[in-house]
Chains A and B, each alone.
Chain A
């Protein structure tokens, strides 16, 4: 158990008793964990701070159901991911993504990445526009594929842990990730001609 978990475990009983100061302290302790997950699962046109606030309110409302059978941080991470996915699911899914759907900055990022792929030594930049671009790309996938890729490739969670979180077998996680990535490669390949036309 790490120190932040120790601290969190120390404060949550006081939050249960309605202590506002303890709630503030718990928010400060859990914020890095929550914001990391929120950033990696942020739906388009949703402010990360608003979503983080919603996550904390849900956590406090559900705190009574926490039995302490698992580390508090695991429980917090599960609730945060579920809430983010509820938001992502609410967004209308796209059937396909065209280069016309991308902003100029997103096109630039994608162009530099594709050029690098083809062996041109072009240093990709514009990481700040990646979030929106990734959201658009992932919205072409099925929800469970999006969920796996967000955890595996964006959060960097190992396959074993994802299998536990989703109550799946490891091989199912791997196969889902493989299919999702193949779909993404196809989407990216489909975007390429549109990008070169715009050049």
Chain B
């Protein structure tokens, strides 16, 4: 690519170039300082976003903890159920004590 072609490719020309120049002049002329309160507003919104994020993390953690604890309860219940059923089935093997303890005083030394 020769130098002239490179220049043509790199530089704008005509009405577009003029428009771009006019725009650049206008934007450069604008005040570049931070608008009053802008930094404070951004920082406040950022703090809100962070708080929301932290809350979302806590919600996720507590939800998982709730699921885990309910799963533990289900497992414990599931394991203890056959034991109770077995005890109920063997109930007829336990001798029935017909006499009250007061009638059994003679057994005492």
- For the complex, give the distance between the alpha carbons of A108 and B9 in Å: 29
A28 at the interface (CB under 8 A from B): yes
Decide yes or no: A56 and B18 within 8 Å by CB, A24-B39, A131-B23 being known contacts. no
Chain B count of residues within 8 A CB distance of the other chain: 38
Contact B26 A171 (CB under 8 A): no
- For the complex, give the distance between the alpha carbons of A65 and B15 in Å: 42
Contact B16 A181 (CB under 8 A): yes
List residues of chain A with CB within 8 A of the CB of B43.
20-21, 23-24, 27
A156 at the interface (CB under 8 A from B): yes
Which residue of chain A has the shortest Cβ distance to B29 in the bound complex? A127
Contact with A along B1-36 (1 / 0, CB 8 A): 100001011101111111110111111011011110
Decide yes or no: A154 and B24 within 8 Å by CB, A24-B42, A24-B43 being known contacts. yes
Decide yes or no: A153 and B17 within 8 Å by CB, A27-B34, A60-B46, A130-B26 being known contacts. yes
List residues of chain A with CB within 8 A of the CB of B30.
39
> Which of A18, A27, A188 sits near B14, CB closer than 8 Å?
A188
A77 at the interface (CB under 8 A from B): no
Contact B46 A113 (CB under 8 A): no
Chain A count of residues within 8 A CB distance of the other chain: 49
Which residue of chain A has the shortest Cβ distance to B1 in the bound complex? A171
- For the complex, give the distance between the alpha carbons of A51 and B20 in Å: 22
Decide yes or no: A49 and B40 within 8 Å by CB, A130-B26, A171-B1, A181-B13 being known contacts. no
> Which of B19, B27, B45 sits near A133, CB closer than 8 Å?
B19
Decide yes or no: A113 and B19 within 8 Å by CB, A35-B32, A177-B10, A178-B9 being known contacts. yes
Which residue of chain A has the shortest Cβ distance to B40 in the bound complex? A24
Report which residue of B1, B29, B45 has the largest number of chain A beta carbons within 10 angstroms of its beta carbon. B45
List residues of chain B with CB within 8 A of the CB of A114.
15
- For the complex, give the distance between the alpha carbons of A133 and B23 in Å: 10
Query: A176 to nearest B CB, angstroms?
Result: 10
- For the complex, give the distance between the alpha carbons of A28 and B44 in Å: 14
Contact A23 B22 (CB under 8 A): no
Contact B14 A124 (CB under 8 A): no
> Which of B16, B26, B27, B42 sits near A53, CB closer than 8 Å?
B42
List residues of chain B with CB within 8 A of the CB of A166.
none
List residues of chain A with CB within 8 A of the CB of B44.
20
Contact B47 A20 (CB under 8 A): yes
Given contacts A18-B50, A32-B32, A113-B15, 20 further A-B contacts (CB under 8 A): A27-B34, A27-B43, A31-B39, A53-B41, A56-B46, A60-B46, A109-B22, A110-B15, A113-B18, A117-B15, A131-B27, A137-B16, A137-B19, A153-B16, A171-B1, A177-B9, A178-B9, A181-B12, A184-B16, A185-B14
